[in-house]
Amino acid sequence: MKGIFPVERFQSIRTPFYYYDTELLRKTLRTINEEAGKHDNFVVHYAVKANANPAILRIIREAGLGVDCVSGGEIEAAIKAGFKPSGIVYAGVGKSDWEINLSLDNNIFCFNVESLAELEVINELAAEKGKKARVAFRINPNVGAHTHANITTGLAENKFGIAMRDMIPVIRKAEKMENVEFIGLHFHIGSQILDMGDFIALCNRINELQEELEREHIKVENINVGGGLGIDYEHPNRVPVPDFKSFFDTYSRHLHLLPGQKLHFELGRSVVAQCGSLITRTLYIKQGEVKKFVIVDAGMTDLIRPALYQAYHKIENITSEDAKETYDIVGPICESSDVFAKQIELNATKRGDLIALRSAGAYGEIMASQYNCRQLPKGYTTEDLNII
């Protein structure tokens, strides 16, 4: 494992911290552009909620992707990173007035609207500025996804989107409003999806809705299918780049776009997850009554996914090549849920060893907190380590 990480450089950096392999990130972005580029009407946006590290955003912007934002803060971060407002889509079930005004002032591409109440507020605020807001309606397709319940978003029971039965009535209301322009439909069924059958089910549902809209003579310029493509958390070395070919080909084969329609994607995890690792240092080895613990200086404040979702991250001792032993890997936070993994095999570990939690580039650094008055972890890229 030493060959994958610049371990000597790591020794002088205060842990815990995030390390981003920018060569892998750029390879991933090239693959996205190559596969999406095979389809003239495909447009890819990066979901900023996955990782808003400025260096990461800069590289993604240089690759030519647009952005998907879910808060005013993300819009500000995207603009600061150099993304053009014309490539920003703004989603989110609870947009506040200042966030809507910020978006209007910057003339973003589109609001992904999630309720009639939100539409009315956007129309009102746009009227005050003498502007016309472009809107797409997020429709809840009631399509399940084979993923964790907490990251499934396309079921009728979820808080997201407008019910299918309300789709045409809300479009008709938008058509009567003077300060909004209806330009598309938005869908998103969840995250960390590896079964292409889930995306096929979404395509089939969209095809049905498109037929309904055609009968009503309603034209839709843009279809946005969100993101959701998962990664291989168990084998980050073997599968460092997700299967974008199958992902884009699935939509190309199964979604019946009409002439002139553009298909938008909002990829997050699949763009940045594999390029990032959380690097932490071993504080103590503790022999309990029934198990042995590796206590590290990173905790759920630095990477909350295992505590929040019982998520799996491959864990490696990058400074030891000794025979493997069985440990629980735990952090210093005063919570019983501050556990990264239980009963896993790890090269024999001692105080001071560096531990890498892999596939942490998405929903890692961005979700970090200062609980227990801890400092937020810093993020370093491959380029940063050349100047430290």
Amino acid identity for residue 234 in this structure: E
Cross-strand partners of 182: 135
Q: Clarify whether residues 171 and 66 are in a common domain.
A: yes
- Read off the CATH number of the domain in which 320 is found: 2.40.37.10
Among the three residues 252, 273, 294, which one is the final residue of a domain in this structure? 273
In a domain, 1, yes or no: no
- Mean pLDDT for 175-192 is 96
What are the distances in angstroms from CA 376 to CA 92, 180, 316, 321? 25, 40, 22, 30
Question: Per-residue pLDDT for 132 more than 60?
Answer: yes
Q: Clarify whether residues 103 and 153 are in a common domain.
A: yes
Q: How high is the pLDDT of residue 388?
A: 54
Q: Clarify whether residues 257 and 284 are in a common domain.
A: no
Q: Clarify whether residues 266 and 351 are in a common domain.
A: no
In the DSSP assignment, the letter for residue 89 is: E
How many domains in the chain?
A: 2
Q: Clarify whether residues 201 and 59 are in a common domain.
A: yes
Task: Quickly count: other Cβ atoms within 10 Å of residue 376's Cβ.
Answer: 11
> Maximum distance among all alpha carbons in the chain?
71
- Read off the CATH number of the domain in which 53 is found: 3.20.20.10
- Mean pLDDT for 53-65 is 98
Length of the chain: 388
Among the three residues 214, 238, 273, which one is the final residue of a domain in this structure? 273
Rounded CA gap, 310 and 93, in Å?
25
Q: Clarify whether residues 280 and 148 are in a common domain.
A: no
Q: Clarify whether residues 220 and 294 are in a common domain.
A: no
Question: Per-residue pLDDT for 163 more than 80?
Answer: yes
pTM: 0.94
Q: Clarify whether residues 201 and 337 are in a common domain.
A: no
> Which band of pLDDT confidence, cut at 50, 70 and 90, is reported for residue 159?
low
- Mean pLDDT for 298-311 is 96
Among the three residues 243, 273, 303, which one is the final residue of a domain in this structure? 273
Dihedral, 274, 67, 84, 93 alpha carbons, nearest 10: -150
- Name the residue range of residue 322's domain: 7-17+274-385
In a domain, 344, yes or no: yes
Q: Could you tell me the sign of the dihedral formed by the alpha carbons of 138, 359, 350, 343, in that order? A: positive
**Average pLDDT score, the chain:** 94
**How many whole angstroms from its chain centre is CA 279?**
21
Q: Clarify whether residues 293 and 181 are in a common domain.
A: no
Helix axes 196-215, 167-175, angle to 10 degrees: 50
Q: Clarify whether residues 343 and 252 are in a common domain.
A: no
